[in-house]
């Protein structure tokens, strides 16, 4: 269960203060897929950074299954991020000199999974996202965009995190592949009982989510 209350983040720039996130309050249940829609510069990526513990909020709280995360120090945020948060990026962001399997194993390494279990877990995750077994040992450059995103999803879910943050996960994919990827996210969320937040500007992708939220000038509101 994710609970966010009165989350605020302001950037101080030469042109003045930018209130990227203002009094954001919402919650999401385990296994729920929530879409966050917003135009460029609306604050959705900042919100994702705060929820992913990549950045510290100025005010507010983030609670995952009863654990307060907003006030963790840098080391604490790093530790929690490696075990409880998974990321899926628009550009996939796989490590180019590692194979698909090694990319998944890397997340397990950071989460300090037992070394002897990592290989099998990575293979299971790649199978779950539908990547051909023969492609597990290929490097990202030898995979298609859809395949790379599947690997990224496998990596995000590998350490059994409670929160998955997907930032424009279909932005670099064609429509058909994009829909398959969202379906995959939903399936994985259900299977692992993880909360999935998908940031997108594509209304059709958003409609595949359980709930839709819209962010504008840092203010989040529910779309009926």
Partner 1 sequence: MRSVGVVVILAVAIALSISMLIARDAVSTKINTVRASTGTTITVSPKGFFGFQGGGTALTTTQINGLLSLPNVTAVQESLSEQLKSTQTSLISPTPAGQLGQQFGSSAGSSGGSSTSGSSSFTFTIPIRVIGTNSPGTAVVGGANGGGTEKLTSGKAFSPTSTSDVAVIGNTLATKNKLKVGSTFTAWNTKITVVGVFSAGSTFTDSNVLMPLATVQKLASASKQVTSATVVVNNINNVASVDRAVTKRLGSAADVTSTQATVQSELAPLNSVKTISTYTLIGSVIGAAIILLLSMLMIVRERRREVGVLKALGATNRSILTQFIAESTTFTVLGAVVGFVAGIAISSPITSALVSASSGSTPSSVGGFVRGSGGGPSFTGGGSGFTPPSGSFSRSGGGLRFGGINNTLTQIHTSAGWSTLAFAFIAALIIAALGSSVAAATIVRIRPAEVLRSE
DSSP conformation letters of 7-67? EEEEEEETTEEEEEEEEEEEEE-TT-EEEEE--TTSSHHHHHHHHTTSS--SEEEEEETTE
- Closest Cα to residue 158, out of 191, 180, 183, 134? 191
Q: Which of 30, 110, 145, 217 binds partner 1 (CB under 8 A)?
A: 110
**Residue 185 interacting with partner 1 (CB under 8 A):** no
Output 43-48 pairs: Cβ under 8 A, ≥24 positions apart.
Answer: 43/215, 43/217, 43/218, 44/167, 44/199, 44/215, 45/167, 45/199, 46/9, 46/20, 46/21, 46/218, 47/7, 47/20, 47/21, 47/199, 47/215, 47/220, 48/165, 48/167, 48/197, 48/199
Which one, 39 or 133, has the nearer CB to partner 1? Answer: 39
We find the least distance from the C-beta atom of residue 52 to partner 1, in angstroms, to be 7
Site for partner 1 in 85-104 (CB under 8 A): 87, 89-91, 93, 95-96
**In 10 A of CB 13, how many CB atoms?**
8
**Looking at beta carbons only, is 125 or 207 nearer to partner 1?**
125
In angstroms, what is the minimal distance from the CB of 102 to partner 1?
Answer: 13
Confirm or reject binding of residue 111 to partner 1 (CB under 8 A).
Answer: yes
Residues 119-158: x where in contact with partner 1 by CB under 8 A, - otherwise, as a string? ------------------------------------x---
- The radius of gyration of the chain from alpha carbons, rounded to an integer in Å, stands at 17
The single residue among 45, 99, 148, 200 that binds partner 1, judged by CB under 8 A, is: 45
Judged by CB under 8 A, which stretch of 73-81, 141-149, 173-181, 187-195 contacts partner 1?
73-81
Per CB under 8 A, the segment of 22-30, 65-73, 84-92, 137-145 that binds partner 1 is 84-92
Among 46, 148, 162, 195, binds partner 1 (CB under 8 A): 46
Closest CA to 25 of 165, 215, 218, 220: 220
The stretch among 21-29, 105-113, 176-184, 209-217 that binds partner 1 (CB under 8 A) is 105-113
List residues binding partner 1 (CB under 8 A): 45-46, 49, 52, 54-55, 75, 78-79, 81-83, 87, 89-91, 93, 95-96, 106-107, 110-111, 155, 167-168
């Amino acid at each position: 269960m994710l609970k966010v209350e009165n989350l605020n983040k302001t950037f101080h720039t030469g042109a003045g203060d930018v209130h990227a996130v203002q009094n954001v309050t919402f919650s999401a249940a385990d296994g729920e897929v929530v879409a966050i829609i917003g135009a460029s510069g609306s604050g959705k990526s900042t919100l994702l950074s705060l929820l992913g513990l990549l950045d510290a909020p100025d005010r507010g709280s983030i609670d995952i299954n009863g654990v307060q995360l907003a006030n963790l120090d840098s080391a604490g945020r790093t530790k929690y991020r490696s075990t409880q948060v998974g990321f899926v990026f628009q550009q996939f962001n796989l490590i180019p000199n590692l194979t698909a399997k090694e990319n998944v194993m890397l997340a397990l390494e950071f989460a300090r999974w037992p070394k002897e279990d990592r290989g099998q877990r990575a293979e299971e995750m790649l199978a779950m996202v539908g990547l051909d077994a023969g492609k597990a040992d290929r490097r990202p450059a030898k995979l298609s965009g859809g395949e790379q995103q599947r690997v990224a999803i496998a990596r995000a879910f590998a350490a059994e995190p409670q929160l998955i943050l997907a930032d424009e996960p279909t932005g670099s994919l064609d429509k058909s592949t994009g829909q398959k990827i969202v379906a995959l996210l939903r399936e994985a969320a259900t299977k692992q009982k993880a909360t999935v937040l998908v940031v997108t500007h594509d209304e059709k992708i958003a409609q595949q989510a359980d709930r839709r939220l819209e962010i504008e000038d840092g203010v989040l509101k529910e779309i009926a």
